[in-house]
Amino acid sequence: MKCFLFALMMLLFAAASSASQDNDFLSAREAFQKGDRQRLNHYAMALQKHELWPYVDYFQLRSVINTTDSTTIQNFLSRHEGSLVADRLRSDWVKILGKGRQWQFFDKEYPRVVNKDTELQCYYYQRYWDIKNVAITAEVRTLWFSSINILDSCSPVFQALIDNGQISLDEIWKRIRLALSDGKTTTAIRIGRYLSNANEALNAKELDRAARNPKKYLDTIHSPINSRSNREIALFALLQLLRNDTDQALAQWHKVKNRLPASDRSYFLVKLGYRAAMRHDARALGWFKEAQNGPQPYPASDKALGWHVRAALRARNWDEVLAAIKRMSSAEQQFDSWRYWKARALSEKKQVSDARQILASLSEEHSFYGQLAKEELGKELYFTDKAYQVNDREVSAMSQRPGIQRALAFARMQLRTEAYHEWSWAVRDFTDAELLTAAEVARRPGLYDRAINTANRTESQHDFKMRFLSPHREIMKDIVRMYGLDEALVYALIRQESRFIADIKSHAGAAGLMQLMPATANWVAKKLGMTDFHQYKLADVSTNLQLGTYYLHHVLISLDNQPLLALAAYNAGPGRARRWRDDSKTLEGVIYAETIPFNETRDYVKKVMENAMYYAKILNPEQNTPTLKQRLGVISPK
């Protein structure tokens, strides 16, 4: 008995000591964030045996990196070589080297940085432009046409390519147009500084007028729109109107279109078609065609062509589906969605052999479209139960790896972002067997998000029960039975919403396993007669499941017991889910899902439906379950 009490006391002492050390780490982290070096150094003295000591060491050195000699920095990198903090410090240091044009150290350290951001890459481009290695020209041009803001480290390289004629005057204006189409007026003005003739640049005052009141600005245009600057501002004003109202923008378009060159007219018609397609406006296809058939067709982006395809799907126009996919970049065409729709279009046009060839390849992929491809070929969803078997010895050894320990320590302190980055770094080069072992390490203390995401990374050895974990099943069974819900669908929804993190909270305020918004939770709690409900109870598994399943049941009932509509409603609201139906005809569920205007919701319903197929097989392996197409159903008109 005495031995037992002594052991218990030692355990309690160790737990208290660990908690105290964790609190010291949090205080050190806060001191670093506030720039309080004296307080940081005070806490650092007690943390040299803590799992997260490398971070404390990083905090101390990062605080003085601008005045630290290279030997001290290299000693740090040697102490922590191979760790995430070493990569971060090396990245910080190499940026300082690039800014100071200290190329000797830069050349040595830059290749060793793993996580290279755009700022750092631009210093690399500066260096290799200096030594006349023009092999980076293509990379810089790609960066020029991206939608990122212009960074200070990138400006000298862009200017060099402009001076050399490798970025033309027209391409400067295209980059200005890209910024304006995203509503980034400050970025557009900054890009305008690259124009050799300052008199040709955007008029900042006119641009501001167009941004503040685009209709009023367009109403004041009476003279010809001759300069490139005025044309771009007029197009910007039209796009501002188009963001909110198709018809208002169209009315203004008819007033000014004849004063614009053919290429500009084509550009706006693509934008008009794009916005109209997102609003399920039947006129979208006509505008896409008009843009393409003019004398100077403006090249549509892959994003616009994606909505060209979606507009064609709503109209059942398979010729347009094929034509729009064909005009996409080769990389875009390889996305599983466009391969599937190309196969469907070919099949509808009786080109069955070509369609089946695409579907055969796609059906091997574990994805929403991979499952649909299987069904098109008459195959069932199948996966082996013979997963790699992880043993306790492997789990124990994996738990001792420093990177894993650091990630677990961050998770213990509820620092989820840090835990995510540390864990991702630790498993980045793992074999399938190591990934599944790490997933088991995460599963045991309830880090279900890390377990699922890690198991998802395997390439040939898979554990689908780990990918599709089903915790809290005893509680779940009774609750879903009460509301007559599909257990697989509820698990699929939770997996997508929270990865089973009970106390997670989104930026928007949604909380718990089923990510309920405060107003929704209060409304459901009143419906269920929960007189003692408070928002903090959303972190309780049972309470969250009761509220969330009731709400899912409610939206199912109000939306014709159609799971696809209910999922769209759960993510984006019932009003939108209803509005996205067709005005007059039924829609295949898969077309409804594909043409949801919100990227997040479109991805969400596909992922949940895909997840539900796996959960049905895992939870009830002996039962016949609906196909994915049956789950998606047919969506009735408004």
Take residue 325 and report the two structure tokens written for it.
Answer: 């996919």
Residues 293, 294, 297: CA angle, nearest 5 degrees: 90
- Cross-strand partners of 634: 588
Strands 587-588 and 634-635: antiparallel
Take residue 464 and report the two structure tokens written for it.
Answer: 């689908």
Calpha distance 140→167 (Å, rounded): 10
Run of H or E residues at 213:
none
Calpha distance 500→493 (Å, rounded): 10
Are 177 and 235 a contacting pair, CB within 8 Å? yes
Q: What DSSP string runs through 161-202?
A: HHHTTSS-HHHHHHHHHHHHHTT-HHHHHHHHTT-S-GGGS-
Calpha distance 150→148 (Å, rounded): 6
**Catalytic residue from among 497, 588, 594, 610:** 497
Q: Catalytic: 320?
A: no
H helices present in 559-627, as ranges: 563-572, 574-579, 589-594, 599-619
Cβ count within 10 A of residue 613: 22
Nearest by Cα to 403 from 425, 372, 380: 425
Cβ count within 10 A of residue 163: 11
Calpha distance 130→263 (Å, rounded): 37
Are 290 and 308 a contacting pair, CB within 8 Å? no
Run of H or E residues at 204:
helix 204-212
Are 438 and 591 a contacting pair, CB within 8 Å? no
The crossing angle, in degrees rounded to 10, of helices 246-256 and 228-244 is 160
Take residue 541 and report the two structure tokens written for it.
Answer: 């598994």
Nearest by Cα to 307 from 331, 284, 332, 340: 284
Are 266 and 298 a contacting pair, CB within 8 Å? yes
Are 479 and 494 a contacting pair, CB within 8 Å? no
Are 79 and 57 a contacting pair, CB within 8 Å? yes
Residues assigned a catalytic role: 497
